[in-house]
A and B are shown apart, each in its own frame.
Chain A
Amino acid sequence: MKRLFSIALGILTAIGGFVDIGDIVANAETGARFGMSLAWVVIVGVVGICLFAEMAGRVATVSGRAVFDLVRERLGARVALVNLVASFFITFLTLAAEIGGVALAIELATSVNYLLWVPIVAFLVWLVIWRVKFGLMENAFGLLGLALVVAAVALWRLGPDWGGLLHAATHPVVPQGEGHPTWWFFGIALLGAAMTPYEVFFFSSGAVEEGWSRADLITNRLNVYIGFPLGGLLSLALMAGATLFLEPRGIEPGHLSQVALPTLLVLGKLGLAVLLVGFFAATFGAALETGLSCGYSIAQYFGFQWGKFVRPADAPRFHLIVLLSILAGAGLVLTTIDPVTVTEYSIVLSAAALPLTYFPILVVANDPDYMGDKVNSRLTNALGSVYLLLLLVVAVATIPLMILTKAGS
């Protein structure tokens, strides 16, 4: 019974934890500009993150080594350092975007300018990481993030032409007036948002934080295979809402309030309030995950003590990195740079960096030295290899497409 409860809790947490500022922005923008024609990318991204998060969780559970340990071990000191610099920079940008996202969600609820909330949000993010138990932290924000379901409820209440939406999703056509490069560029942004590297840094380090043993491998699998796809459905609900409400009106969401518009129009103020709670929890939870991941990646590269499973005084360098990252992230948002722009860059650069993270995971998940009898199955390897090829193509194409399309504008 207790086991069942913990599995259910893990799945619910994974649903709420899947969506972050990157998913919110990417799905709403894509829906508003391209309708459902890029919905398939969300599915490709969800399958990809399931595949590699399960591998990373399994490696961490069996061997006790989290993702950046593997990066260092497989790529060697030099290449792994290049990887660390790139991964840390992207995770840091994402942290700044999440802090901005939390502040924007509070602005929507209070009408007080988001910049005033940034220092408070940053302090609270640090305080939660410093004081709150890992399990409680993860569950509380994951569960609260489920409030985003209200966006799906709004969509259902509206009773849209489901057949039409499905047809648009399964027969992708680049809309009139949009170029193919721009369409592909937004596709890449969606993929980057779904497969952001920090998700596996956090997921694998979390398995170590929570002291998972082989008995938890089933929990690992269920969290990933059920929780993430349901989180992906929430992303698609945001995309469909934008397709129905924003695309016909020619609105391009440059602000979180426009993403909330469909829910407000269908369910009124109460619906909006619930959605804002969801925005807050999803972005705050992701700020915690990215803040911790800044520390995890550097600590795991250099091998020094990390994690909330020891006293802060016993992982001083880890906590110093987390603290400085949060301060710098808040500082970046306080320059008044648009948080939505930071988000866009963080997910596109994520897409370009995906093979750096996922290649070492695939290699180590096949190493009996680490895995014993829990190495990848043939099917997992076949799928993993196909994805790695895909991610390589995406990585090569991202920067040229970004320049060609002037970052999708």
Chain B
Amino acid sequence: MSGRVLEAGLHLLDRQLIDVDGRLAGKVDDLELELPPGGGPPVVTAILSGPGALSRRLGGRLGAWLEAAANRLRDGDEDRPARVSFAVVKRIESAVDLSVAKRELETNRLEAWTREHLIGHLPGAGDAPE
């Protein structure tokens, strides 16, 4: 049985990631493919998201600058973009729904930093919206 056919460029790239709580969690900036060790066709293993992945797609001087900035912000030792394993992808429609919470993703660091160091200090930052 053949399922729905997706074209990566048309149906996947640049789409919104939404976590299990309905929170916005970045874009599908790039895809990671892996060639299985035993041979056979490559499989999509992860969504790459955040400035590290975006910078490589932008290319040029701006891309290089953004990549350098992204590498500096990363606390890991590897210079690679943040990954969202394809195993946590629940559904692909006008957005890509994930089956995990945003805080568990490595794409969440910049947001957490901004909250902890800047916006979280303003009075009322934690108040419920409605």
Contacts and interface: CB of A to CB of B under 8 A. Distances in A.
A44 interface: no
Interface string A116-157: 000000000000001101100000000000000000000000
B115 A316 contact: yes
A314 B124 CA distance: 12
Nearest to A314: B23
Contacts of A317: 110-111, 114
Given A311-B129, A369-B11, A77 B58 contact: yes
Contacts of B27: 72, 302-303
- How many residues of A sit at the interface, in one of the four size bands? 20 to 34
A131 B127 CA distance: 9
A312 B94 contact: no
Interface string B101-112: 010000000110
> Interface SS of chain B: helix, strand, loop or mixed?
mixed
A320 B113 CA distance: 12
A308 B130 CA distance: 9
A69 B111 contact: no
Contacts of A73: 14-15
A313 B119 contact: yes
Contacts of B130: 133, 309
B29 to A, nearest CB: 7
A320 B13 CA distance: 27
B25 A303 contact: yes
Contacts of B16: 65, 69, 303
Contacts of A72: 14, 27
A314 B102 CA distance: 11
Contacts of A319: 119, 125
Contacts of A312: 119, 122, 124-127
B120 interface: yes
Contacts of A314: 23, 115
A320 B117 CA distance: 11
B70 interface: no
A334 B38 CA distance: 66
B8 interface: no
21 contacts: A64-B95, A72-B27, A76-B13, A77-B29, A77-B54, A77-B58, A78-B57, A81-B58, A130-B122, A130-B124, A131-B124, A303-B26, A304-B25, A304-B26, A305-B111, A309-B129, A309-B130, A310-B23, A314-B115, A317-B111, A319-B125
Given A303-B16, A312-B125, 18 more contacts: A69-B16, A73-B14, A76-B13, A77-B57, A81-B58, A81-B62, A133-B129, A302-B54, A303-B25, A304-B24, A304-B25, A312-B119, A312-B126, A313-B115, A316-B120, A316-B125, A320-B118, A320-B119
